[in-house]
Amino acid sequence: MTTSAVSVSLERPTAEPVEFLRNALEAAKARGTVTVVTVPAPIAPLETLVDTNDPDGALLWSPPEGPGFAALGALQTFVGSGAARAEQIRGFAEAFFARLEHVTLGERMAPSLRCFGGMSFQPGSAALPPWTAFGDARFVFPRVRYCREGDNAWLTVAAGPDEAANETSRRALVAKIAGVLATLSAGARAPGAARPPARRVVARDETSEAEYRAIVQDIVERIGRGEFEKVVIARRSTLSFEGAVDPTSVLTDLAETSEHCIRFAFRVRDVSFVGATPERLIRKSGVAIDTEALAGSSDAARAAELMRSPKEREEHDLVVREIVRALSPLCVTLNHPASPEVRVLRHLLHLTTPIRGRLARPVHVLELVQRLHPTPAVGGVPGADAVRFITEHEPAPRGWYASPIGWFDAAGDGEFAVALRSGALVGDKAYLYAGGGIVKDSDPASEYAETRLKLATLSAALHVAQ
């Protein structure tokens, strides 16, 4: 299924984007469709748009390759709950996409229209603060979307049929977009922001080392009894600062320190879920798919030891095995190298194995997400038993930590990542999460040290005073 796109190329290539938007909304008022208008925009940092503090929320999606997006508000929000949440989201979105009319200014087309969002780690795991507004599954079709790809940028605005038909609403929307374009122009000219001063932590609430090590030891003993092959256990560190935390400054810092990761932000009401994850869950374009196993970690000085470690290789190989098992029934080809590579990040090294394939038939990316999540990189083996243990024994609910986040379009293509190296920012508090994969040879002290390394990514972006 595709949108009913209408491409418009004006004779005057210098036509004002605001004038074009005004005319497009005027023409759409009698058609009764959802009208989406795309115009050229200035090149500016993605955080410039997120920083406008729109009361209806904001998001950012910035992969290391391909287009990056920032968006404000939501023309449409899709929510799902329970075990059928992915199917619910897909059904709502398909009906919505069928009503779209897309009008563009200029000959260069922007990337496809997309819904952005994600899901909680498991249904019910976002029932407590700070996650209550996020729910089991939440995706939005943005009201205003800014996209950058190479030397090109576009601004896309969406209006419902009632809005297009009402002159007052049309004028308000045109005025808002004029303001957004001015903000982007100012962002393009603004010098680089000064590095924020160190933030002093006034209170810290977290799983203690003794508590975490006890849970790890319990898992190791259960593995020895044959209950599991692997369980990923996480802990939360809640930091309270002297003043409110600005999510935009955190995203700006992550842009400089996490260049090989997918930066993301989802702001719902007063909660901003931000991070820079190194792990792609799935990417689909037509029948081509690619994913990766990312498991097995060490500090930046031990690359050779990481490759030789039986414990780290076992943890990694379990993830490769289960991803291949989940995707093979849908694929005519599915390939990966025999040995992993080392992924070098700012604070950590990881073992990674790219996995690529071709689907036997068209499949919506949400179906692939549902098959894969949670991989053993964030859940365990056997999957259902590991998730049950996590739900019953982890000190704090994960919410959207380690969950699938990303986008999909009308064709069912999309890209999803695993929400790692992340945290929820609310006022003067930061809820940070990190975990590790436990196998039979895991050492509790080493596993706790690994979580400290993983927490360092966001702690550094928060400029936590040591």
Mean pLDDT of 163-178: 92
Catalytic residue among 47, 101, 206, 279: 279
Omega before 374 cis (within 30°)? yes
* Selection from 189, 184, 175 nearest residue 40 by Cα: 184
pLDDT at 108 over 90: no
**First vs last C-alpha separation in the chain:** 53
**Interval 180-199: pLDDT, tens:** 999 999 887 666 656 677 88
**Interval 215-267: pLDDT, tens:** 999 999 999 999 999 999 999 999 999 999 999 999 999 998 898 899 999 99
Q: 318-334 b/e with 16+ CB inside 10 Å = b?
A: bbbebbbebbeebbeeb
What is the model's pLDDT at position 174? Answer: 93
Stated pTM of the model? 0.94
**Interval 112-141: pLDDT, tens:** 999 999 999 999 999 999 999 999 999 999
230 catalytic, yes or no?
yes
- Categorize the per-residue pLDDT at 10 as very low, low, confident or very high, splitting at 50, 70 and 90: very low
Mean pLDDT of 41-60: 88
What is the model's pLDDT at position 66? Answer: 85
- Categorize the per-residue pLDDT at 54 as very low, low, confident or very high, splitting at 50, 70 and 90: confident
Residue 140, Cβ density class (10 Å: 0-12 exposed, 13-18 middle, ≥19 buried): buried
454 catalytic, yes or no?
no
Q: Regarding beta strands 230-241 and 404-409, do their DSSP bridges make them parallel or antiparallel, or are they unpaired?
A: unpaired
Supply 115's token pair: 């819904």
What is the model's pLDDT at position 45? Answer: 93
**Interval 311-332: pLDDT, tens:** 999 999 999 999 999 999 999 9
- Categorize the per-residue pLDDT at 4 as very low, low, confident or very high, splitting at 50, 70 and 90: very low
What is the model's pLDDT at position 13? Answer: 37
Catalytic residue among 230, 284, 429, 454: 230
